[in-house]
Amino acid sequence: MTLELCEITDASAHGLESFSPFCLKIHRALRAAGLPYTRRHGPMPSTHKALNATGQVPVLLVDGKPITDSTEILRWIVAHSALHESAEGWLYEELADTALNGFLVAARWADEANWPRTEAAYFAAMPSFLRLFIPGRARARVLSSLHARDIWRAGPEACWARFDRLLDQLEVRAPEAGFWCGPQIGVADVALFGQLGGLRTALTPGQAAAVAARPRLTAWLDRVDTATAAPGAVAAAA
């Protein structure tokens, strides 16, 4: 069986495999499951539209046949490995993909302090004349989606107050040892890491500091990072 993960541009310069938290989730799940795979990169998600009509990543090719949507890919990984799953784990996977993802997107695209770093990281390879208008248009679409998701509608102060409350709740729940739902790494760990790990980079220093201020949550994130990082990889920059 051959596995190939189709994704966007590598983000190893920022300490992670991908800027996409959903691709990051699958990278860490495949490693936790002990399933070897190769990577296929594209400059944007739509590069892989022939494999996924929605134009989204990740796409996992299993012997050349595509599985789309990160949750469905994760379910396939669970079915073909010993990666731990539980009802609680899947609940946290849903929390990560919805609530936490909204804050990650807002941190990169809506936070005025972070937007210049995000623009540089996402669009640096784009021809200069395209950079005059493509990033701004893309940002406008993302901001509209954040309003529709009720993440940014009440403004930045309300958004980051909600974010802090959610981090406080995760800090209380974070395990002092082992992993999120027990001694084995599982679905909850890779899903939560995909989003929270994405917040611990230099793109979003304020949000990274907010995560770092929660010691139990940070210690758990470090355990997941150590358990699932690529051989020789450098830990994500806080």
Domain assignments of the chain as residue spans, ordered by start:
3-228
Rounded average pLDDT over 187-192: 98
Sheet with 3-8: strands ordered across: 38-42, 3-8, 59-62, 65-68
d(CA 8, CA 39): 10
Whole-number pLDDT of residue 234: 44
Q: Which DSSP string corresponds to 29-40?
A: HHHHHT---EEE
> For residue 164, which amino acid is it?
D
Whole-number pLDDT of residue 232: 53
Whole-number pLDDT of residue 46: 74
Whole-number pLDDT of residue 190: 98
Whole-number pLDDT of residue 50: 77
d(CA 61, CA 130): 32
CATH entry, 3-228, from 3.40.640.10, 3.90.1150.10, 1.10.150.20, 1.20.1050.10: 1.20.1050.10
For tokens 């995760």, name the residue: 170
Does the pLDDT at position 231 exceed 50? Answer: yes
Does the pLDDT at position 236 exceed 60? Answer: no
1-47 residue pLDDT tens: 999 999 988 888 888 999 999 999 999 999 999 999 999 998 777 77
Report the mean per-residue pLDDT for the chain.
Answer: 93
d(CA 96, CA 133): 32
Whole-number pLDDT of residue 237: 36
Reported as type and span, the H/E element at residue 67 is strand 65-68
Residue 77: count other Cβ atoms within 10 Å of its Cβ.
Answer: 22
Residue 152, both tokens = 């940014």
Least reliable range by pLDDT among 13-17, 103-107, 187-191, 195-199 = 13-17
**Strand 59-62 to 65-68 pairing:** antiparallel
67-122 residue pLDDT tens: 999 999 999 999 999 999 999 999 999 999 999 999 999 999 999 999 999 999 99
Nearest 10 degrees: CA dihedral of 163, 120, 195, 34?
A: -170
Three-class SS state of 154: coil
Percent of the chain scoring above 90 in pLDDT: 82
d(CA 84, CA 111): 36
